[in-house]
Structure 1
Amino acid sequence: MNKIAKRLAVNITKEAEDQRPVEIIAYGLEIIFNLGTQLAILGLVSYFLGIFPEVLISVVFAIILRTFSGGSHLSSFLSCTVISVLIFTAIGYVASILVISKEVLMGLFLINSLLLARWAPYSTKRKYSEARRKMLKQTCFSILLVALLISLYLPIPQFLITAVALGLTWQSISITPLGVNIITKVDNFIERRKLYV
């Protein structure tokens, strides 16, 4: 994927006479390729398991929240793909069989709000100003509130309500020290296994 992105970036800079470094364009293209491939794999797996809508809606809401809450980055495309497929397939399956009451929904909203208030935005590389951190936290709370109101007051299927709640909850947990630690350990395990394949 990296080689394809670099080749395409070189062609783009030559044809468009773009002055930006090839590495920057290649990095952006690689992210797009990786995300597209991961979503395609996740879509195929969830489709064959009969949980495509549940997985799709949980991924969409988790990605929206992650945009503002931040999140840990994994060592490789393989690790990211494996963990994403496992997590969101599990969420989709649970959403297909579990009914969440309004009380549980409110409880998850409160827990997620507390987790985001404490640890968002999460980043190991970027340093945010206090004003920027405040804006990102407020946006996270707004996303949770909108999702809660949609779940409570719009006539949507129960399995989608559960998928939204679990997708947001996973993203909220993933930026906590416990969540980051679990993700890191799974990432390291996958990377070690690659050496023997």
Structure 2
Amino acid sequence: MLENEEKQMNFSENISYKLTCAITSQLDYDEEKKEIIAYAIETVLLGILGMVIIVLLGYALNVLVPTLLTACFGTFLRRLSGGAHLKKPLNCLVFGAIAYSFIGIIVGKLKGCDLSKMNLTMVLLIALLIVFFLAPVDSEAKPIHSKSLKLKLKVSSVIFVMVSILIVGFSANEVLSLSVTFGVLSQSITLLPIFNN
């Protein structure tokens, strides 16, 4: 039965499942601990592949710095908070790379428009409320069964957005402030129920 389940998994789940089995083969871990390890491994694998795609696209569009900054904050929050998913992880990665590059272009256009720190902070407070009430959002394809993992992900998501607010509040770098704000906002929007039916 495990072999049939393994064949039905996507590529990243298959690798994380095999690595989890290898790591825990000598350990007496229950299924909840194995699920946490598998989740962490898959998160790292998808993060690396996604970042490579984002770097290539951001460089090609000549918006590498704002795209990378936006992607770093949005992607890190996504790993904690979950959100809307496309059916295949690769499609998700490509869509994410295009979206973050587009946001990088927007950040470049908004640079010099003198958006106040108060405006950016208000946007991040909206993102904080969304994250507080909705995170983590899982999917049918990748459900989170562990209640303790859900709680850890929610708390981590909220803390991450609060740290982002502090960064924007204290940063003198306009590109950094705009990138952080739009990266966190774009990810928090994917938590809304309209995108998760």
Is the shorter-chain TM-score for this pair beyond 0.5, marking a shared fold? Answer: yes
Which residue, out of 142, 149, 167, partners 2:166?
A: 149
Q: Is residue 2:179 matched to residue 1:163?
A: yes
Cα pair distance change 1:107/1:41, threshold 3 Å = same
Once residues 26 and 114 of structure 1 are traced to their aligned partners in structure 2, the CA distance between those partners, rounded to angstroms, is: 29
Question: In 1, Cα distance between the equivalents of 2:190 and 2:102?
Answer: 15
How far apart are residue 116 of structure 1 and its match? Answer: 1.2
The unaligned stretches of length 5 or more in structure 2 are 1-9, 28-34
Give the match for residue 185 of structure 1.
Answer: none
Counterpart in the other structure of 2:31: none
1:179 Cα deviation after fit: 3.2
Q: Could you say if the C-alpha distance between residues 128 and 117 of structure 1 is closer, same or farther in structure 2, counting changes exceeding 3 Å?
A: farther
CA distance in 2, matches of 1:111, 1:133: 21
> In 2 relative to 1, CA 113–32 (structure 1 residues): closer, same or farther, beyond 3 Å?
closer
Aligned 8 A contact 2:144 2:150 in 1:
no
In structure 1, what is the equivalent of residue 129 of structure 2?
114
Structure 2 length as normaliser, TM-score? Answer: 0.69
Report the Cα distance in structure 1 between the residues aligned to 2:39 and 2:165, rounded to whole angstroms.
Answer: 35
Q: Distance between the aligned counterparts of 1:147 and 1:28, measured in 2?
A: 22
The offset of 1:121, in angstroms, is: 1.2
Consecutive unaligned residues in structure 1, runs of 5 or more: 182-197
Relative to 1, partners in 2 of residues 1:136 and 1:85: Cα closer, same or farther, differing over 3 Å? Answer: closer
Distance 2:52 2:154 in 1: 30
1:1-197 to structure 2, matched below 5 A, reads 2=11, 34-98=46-110, 99=113, 100-124=115-139, 125-129=143-147, 133-155=150-172, 157-180=173-196
**Letter aligned with residue 43 of structure 1:** V
Measured in 1, the distance between the counterparts of 2:153 and 2:93 equals 26
Aligned partner of residue 123 in structure 1, secondary structure: coil
Q: Against the structure 1 CA distance between its residues 58 and 123, is the aligned structure 2 distance closer, same or farther, given a 3 Å change threshold?
A: same
Q: Distance in 2 between matches of 1:137 and 1:28?
A: 15
Contact 1:102/1:152 (8 A) holds in 2: yes
- Please give the per-residue CA displacement for 1:149-173, whole angstroms capped at 9, x wherever unaligned: 1112133x21121111000001110
- Superposed CA deviations along residues 55-87 of structure 1, whole A, max 9, x for unmatched, are 111111112212321223322244213311221
Q: How many residues get paired?
A: 169
* Percent of paired sites with the same residue: 27
What letter corresponds to residue 124 of structure 2 in structure 1? F
RMSD value, Cα: 3.4
- Could you tell me how far apart the structure 2 residues matched to 1:65 and 1:41 are? 18
CA contact (8 A) 1:97 1:159 kept: no
